[in-house]
Chains A and B, each alone.
Chain A
Amino acid sequence: MKVKARIFRFDPAKDEGPWFAEYVVEVDESASILDLLLEIKKKAPDLAVPYSCRVGRCGSCAVVVNGIPVLACQTPVKRFGHMLEISPLPGFRVLKDLVVDNSGILRVGVEVLSGYLRRTQPYVPPEKIPHNRVEYLHEFKQCIACGACLAACPVYSIDKHRFGGPHAMRILAQYAEDPRDGAPRVEEAALRGLYMCLTCGNCQVVCPHEIAIHRGVLALRRKAYSAERAPFKLVDVIDAIEDPETGNPLYMPRTERGAWIKGLRPTPNARTLVFAGCMASYADRGSVRALALLLELAGVEYQVLGSEELCCGMPIFLAGSWEKARKQAEKLAKMLKSRGIDVVVTPCPSCYRMLRKEYPEVLGVELEVEVLHATQLLLDLLRKGRLKIRKRVELVVTYHDPCDLGRHMGVYDEPREILRTIPGVKLVEMLRGRYREYSRCCGAGGDLKIVDPELSLRIASERLSDVPRDAQVVLHACPTCKIQFTEASTRIGTKLQNISVQELLLTVVGGDDE
């Protein structure tokens, strides 16, 4: 297969600055990025390529391909097609070409983060350890210190002084779960920005060993919460969610929760529930109203919970109180049951993830309902012809994958399919490969919006730079992301519009009977 590759070149001794060289080479269909680089090296013998083991064990060969940090030896060229741009891992000093000075990661792990077992009890061999615990720890111990996660982390990239980054979190999460370790790992994690992690999962998708660092962070936060190490802001927010007068993380009065329903025609006792979620109820009513109106057009009867609707508990879960999150889940489960609901549809990816995944898998609360994200149900209605597109709209759009919908739940196609069915709409993906599983968080994940709104907004502004220049509108599938993008757009003064997929859809459809 013929490949055209632009390669970052820089020899600090000769070059005034970095430059890109273009090479066209022939490689095998199954070639890895490393094979490609070595093939190029045959043409350009002075090209410096970092590698050693070729089997993903030494961590030497991490580079950035078309915007994505990857381990060269473990990544097929095919994944990127025929045009590749390869540059060194960002955030480190370039020694030459693609070689950076990144072995400090290993030292920092040991010397700064105390990344070694610290026993507080005398060791008496042989030690019995539950085998499933060992397997859990082995997941985290797979790290080869390649640095890909650091390059992919939206927080670490802009605030490495306060946030230890995925690597630090990985180490601390590992030792916190090691039954032999007695060091105060949770306290250490709290000092190194445990609550600055977006839990967005970007580190996991670039990790050659797919270590679920965000899961480790959640486990650490659970311990931190029990140890009263959670930030006050989160403790207050949990209070606000549990307070019958508010019941949401925004400190808004419960009485206003159902305000979005005004003018709509919900059907009491319908089998389908439109679950707005806190963000849509209070701060992005357009998203949930559009969903409800589309259901009405399609002739789908739905009910609402109105001012009785509960927070799904995501902010509590992310703060580390699984017990309180479980209570919230149980309350909601009871309410859904008493109302005879079969299907829950929500415009909010966080509610979707909580109800569909975290309730049963982590909190042990099984809902006897089907949980859908708005885009899933709407696409289904379009496919069944119950919603019909009646207008054309000339628009260049981009789509932002929310972490909770994409990476955490694997829903990438439905929103895009909807956009594709609208004539005149041209979808251009986010720049630097940052779409689908490589999408960058809007900055609101992991409760960061509550803990550090300023940093959260900076991350959102940074994310805006991924929007392609010709895109007129950013389409959203998440009220929170939409709000983040809107605030960031205002701040940096762009005219970029932010609307939800269903709001756009509403402008072009009619119902089956029209």
Chain B
Amino acid sequence: MEVITTDVLVVGCGAAGLRAAIEAAKLGVDVVVVTKSRIGAAATPMAEGGINAALDPRDSWEKHFIDTVTAGVFLNEQHLVEVLTKEIPRHIYELEEWGVLFTRREDGAIAQRPFGKQSFPRTVFASDRTGHELFTVLLSQALRLGVEVVEHHFVTKIFVRDGRVWGALAWRVKGWDPVLFRAKTVVLASGGAGQVYSITTTPIESTGDGVALALEVGAEIMDMEMFQFHPTGAAWPPPIRGLLITEAARGEGGVLINALGERFMARYAPKEMELAARDVIARAIWRELQESRGTIHGGVYLDLRRVSCDRIRRRLSSTYRWLLRYGIDICREPIEVSPTAHYMMGGIRIGLNGETCIKGLYAAGEVSAGVHGANRVGGNSLAECIVFGARSGRAAALFAKSEPLPVFDREVVEREVRHVNSIEGRSTVSYEDVRRELRNIMWKYVGVIRDGEGLKRALESLDKLKKLMAEARVEASHTYAVDEVRFLETLNMLRVAELIVKAAFMRRESRGAHYRLDYPQRNDSEWLAHIVFRYEGGVLRSYKIPVTITRLSPR
């Protein structure tokens, strides 16, 4: 078996992972980044809209803080939000120092545009490919600093002994050989789980691997019921169903119109209109569709015709060109949109430095929880990746510096290898069917709108799927073992989906992205709290913990 020894192992190659790797490498430790796909196959390069930072003297981190916490309906961990909003401006400049180039105003200063739920236009952007711009620069920085990026390796296990991380097992997709990573610390930056839904903006890699890995070794997982549905996924034509039409389209002046030609947001959020919080708009669209005011394709119109075509081509250039390929000229005609699963607010519980309750295990980015509370503001996820990527990278490196390399446990490794090998074989059950069914169930019962009945049904279905999956096997194709990966991902998806459903069932109120038809009101007296899952002695426990409030009392 191949063994790779390193101080810091980063799982995931998006903004959070790369930023963690850079910070750790700057402190002079060995860093390896492992990713299950090709470099670049992550949610980061897909992030279009921008990154929030209070740069303008008329703006302030406090305002950014308030916007974030109000949008998150006070479920945010406020100490995390404080750090995020205070530190991100410095990072914006640091990113530019490294080569990121943000779009400018006429006078040459960094431009900022308004996004939903902002008291000040504070979204910094690079045309409509902000994430891609960040990604390329972060990757180049990481490689320059000597970070080793190991592609096409799928991590199946984090090794922990006595509450302390000592490595991970990954499988090389080209050849399907196990590779043991001996590491002093592990930073999980493996992104979200949008793929548990059949309609989603996320890359196919977003299967909740990090949450599943962390859950298994006893980390705390929280806020899983909080899944963001982006209001404007493409509804038509079918090949682009669910794919994101950036919030910038509304930021630049696009309006939402129903099939009757009404600008319906006036009914739901007369003040904020199309720039209301994402959950508000997603539910508004859902209601329009429910009440038969949608298009024949099950969407509403996002109309950009009031924006000048020149501006569209400059500020929304890739969206413009992309849709043009599908025969839609957004300068001339509206595009049909409907909600789509976009972002996992929940995840691994972390502290200020991305630390978890497992010594040596850190988490940053979408895989972690707490920053966004019950609803994420557009432009805050890249900010989170950068700030907490850097923080966790630093903490992981400092911890690694102070500790010797833990001894490894051969028996545990062998057991894991045997376990993974056991998925191979012949079976009448196809993991692909399980995966498809899982995604449909989640969309149907655990989507924009939920109720106790549906959630119960979802849980039953998931149980059945779990049993089915226990019988499923995958036929070995070791040259390029992508089927093995998809199979193991499906197991992770089942685990994550179960947490989402359970938490959604437990939370008997509506807050942010979580909306219960049977409990439509927010209920602070009972539910100003996180729902946490944790394995203890082989048993999945769930409990409530209070929200950390530092500056802003719920109102």
Contacts and interface: CB of A to CB of B under 8 A. Distances in A.
A52 B126 contact: no
A95 B105 contact: no
Interface of A: 11-14, 28-32, 34-35, 45-46, 48, 50-60, 74-76, 95-97, 99, 101-103, 106-107, 109-111, 115-117, 119, 123, 125-131, 134-135, 137-138, 141-145, 178, 180, 209-210
Contacts of B46: 53, 55, 57-58
B101 A107 contact: no
Interface in B20-62: 37-42, 45-46, 55
B110 interface: yes
A220 B335 CA distance: 40
Contacts of A54: 203-204, 240, 243
Contacts of B5: none
Nearest to A35: B239
**9 tightest A-B contacts by CB?**
A117-B99, A52-B41, A128-B108, A96-B480, A131-B104, A116-B140, A30-B237, A125-B93, A13-B479
18 contacts: A34-B239, A45-B432, A50-B38, A53-B41, A53-B203, A57-B46, A59-B38, A59-B40, A76-B326, A106-B139, A110-B140, A119-B97, A125-B93, A131-B105, A131-B111, A135-B127, A137-B101, A210-B321
Interface residues of B, number: 65
B455 to A, nearest CB: 29
Name which of A32, A57, A129 has the most chain B CB atoms within 10 A of its CB: A57
B445 to A, nearest CB: 25
Interface in B344-394: none
Given A53-B203, A103-B151, A209-B318, A110 B144 contact: yes
B542 interface: no
Given A29-B237, A58-B42, A123-B97, 18 more contacts: A11-B480, A30-B326, A34-B239, A46-B475, A50-B38, A52-B41, A57-B129, A59-B40, A95-B479, A96-B477, A103-B38, A126-B93, A128-B104, A135-B127, A138-B101, A138-B127, A141-B101, A142-B318
B162 interface: no
Interface in B130-168: 131-133, 136-137, 139-141, 143-144, 151
B316 interface: no
Interface of B: 37-42, 45-46, 55, 93, 96-99, 101-111, 126-127, 129, 131-133, 136-137, 139-141, 143-144, 151, 174, 203-205, 237-240, 243-244, 314, 318, 321-322, 325-327, 430, 432, 475, 477-480, 482-483
A218 B37 CA distance: 36
B172 to A, nearest CB: 11
A60 B132 CA distance: 14
A128 B109 contact: yes
B244 A106 contact: no
Nearest to A135: B314
Contacts of A134: 101-104
A52 B105 CA distance: 34
Given A56-B318, A58-B38, A96-B480, A142 B129 contact: yes
A107 B143 contact: yes
A57 B39 CA distance: 12
Given A30-B326, A52-B38, A116 B141 contact: yes
Contacts of B475: 46
Contacts of A58: 38, 40-42, 45-46, 203
A125 B479 contact: no
A48 B480 contact: yes
Contacts of B131: 57
Nearest to A74: B325
A48 B482 contact: yes
B130 to A, nearest CB: 11
Nearest to B104: A131
A13 B104 contact: no
A46 B430 CA distance: 12
Contacts of A12: 479
B529 to A, nearest CB: 36
A261 to B, nearest CB: 47
Contact of B37 (A60, A75, A137): A60
B136 A141 contact: yes
A125 B326 CA distance: 41
A131 B136 contact: no
Contact of A53 (B45, B97, B99): B45
A98 to B, nearest CB: 10
A280 to B, nearest CB: 38
A55 B479 contact: no
A126 B126 contact: no
A143 to B, nearest CB: 8
A106 B40 contact: yes
B325 to A, nearest CB: 6
A461 to B, nearest CB: 35
A95 B104 contact: no
Nearest to B93: A125
A52 B37 contact: yes
B193 to A, nearest CB: 15
